[in-house]
Amino acid sequence: MTDHLRLGVNIDHVATVRNARGSGYPDPVRAALVAAEAGADGITAHLREDRRHITDADIAHLSEALTIPLNLEMAATEEMLGIALRHRPHAACIVPERREERTTEGGLDAAGQHDHLGPMVAALSAANIRVSLFVEPDPRQIEAAVRLCAPVVELHTGRYCELDEEARAGELRRIADAAALAAKNGIEVHAGHGLTFDNVGPIAAIPQVRELNIGHFLIGEAMFVGLGEAVRRMRAEMDAARG
């Protein structure tokens, strides 16, 4: 059995359902505790600038209630930096955000935003918050992460997930190569976006990948089999792929 591959469960879309009625149900914190009980190694929550799902109160409640690490996903803004420094989550993953996007559409342009990201990465690291950059599996972005002294990159798997089985091999190679380049440079490798029971295996099998962040699919599955069972099944798929 190779190193334990961590599973971060993203609970954004529990908050999407909650916000549909403006009530407090279902509670993302309860979902996080169920996921933890079922074997999640961490919880990911994306506090978007438009608060379309996770709210500031959710982050405060999660920070108080969780006994496993919280990974706060955030845009590279002063507002979000202030919130991260106030709550001091275990980790912060800097992601690109466009208000009109339905979901994250690609990776952060770390190469093009070095001067903007540098002080943010430094401030988060100085607060002992493990910084991750959500980037495309592109050597330019990996090299930029090295220059920014980011300890972690999370490789965007969205394109891989959107391609059909035949076309997927090239993108999987790109992800594997980016993972190897990052690891060679001392950067911890995570991956996420769009992962499901059916497509997680080849990503989980990449030896340099240490953590997967998975949300939308698991919350969808939870509607049919329950969140605990969905998390246990994903854990099993990951372990089977890892060998």
Ligand X SMILES: CC(=O)[C@@H](O)[C@H](O)COP(=O)(O)O
Catalytic residue list: 46, 73, 193
Binding stretches for ligand LD2JLWAY (CB under 6 A): 10, 44, 154, 192-195, 213-217
Q: Hey, is 37 helix, strand or coil?
A: helix
> Shortest approach of ligand X to residue 160 CB, angstroms?
12
Read off the tokens for 121: 């990465």
Q: Which residue, 99 or 102, has its beta carbon nearer to ligand LD2JLWAY? A: 102
Strands 188-192 and 42-46: unpaired
12 part of the interface to ligand X, by CB under 6 A: yes
Tell which positions 81-100 bind ligand X, by CB under 6 A: 95
| Contact partner at residue 107 from ligand X, ligand LD2JLWAY, none, CB < 5 to 8 Å by partner kind | none
Q: Is 112 left (phi over 0), alpha (psi -120 to 50) or beta?
A: alpha
Q: Is 4 annotated as a binding residue?
A: no
Note the helical H segments in the chain: 12-19, 28-38, 56-65, 78-87, 114-126, 139-147, 158-162, 168-184, 200-204, 216-225, 227-242
Q: Give the integer Cα–Cα distance in Å for 130 and 111.
A: 20
> Shortest approach of ligand LD2JLWAY to residue 173 CB, angstroms?
21
> Shortest approach of ligand LD2JLWAY to residue 237 CB, angstroms?
14
42-81 footprint of ligand X as x/- string (CB under 6 A): ----x-x------------------------x--------
Chain centre distance of CA 50: 18
Q: Is 210 annotated as a binding residue?
A: no
Q: Hey, is 234 helix, strand or coil?
A: helix
Tell which positions 152-191 bind ligand X, by CB under 6 A: none
> Shortest approach of ligand LD2JLWAY to residue 93 CB, angstroms?
7
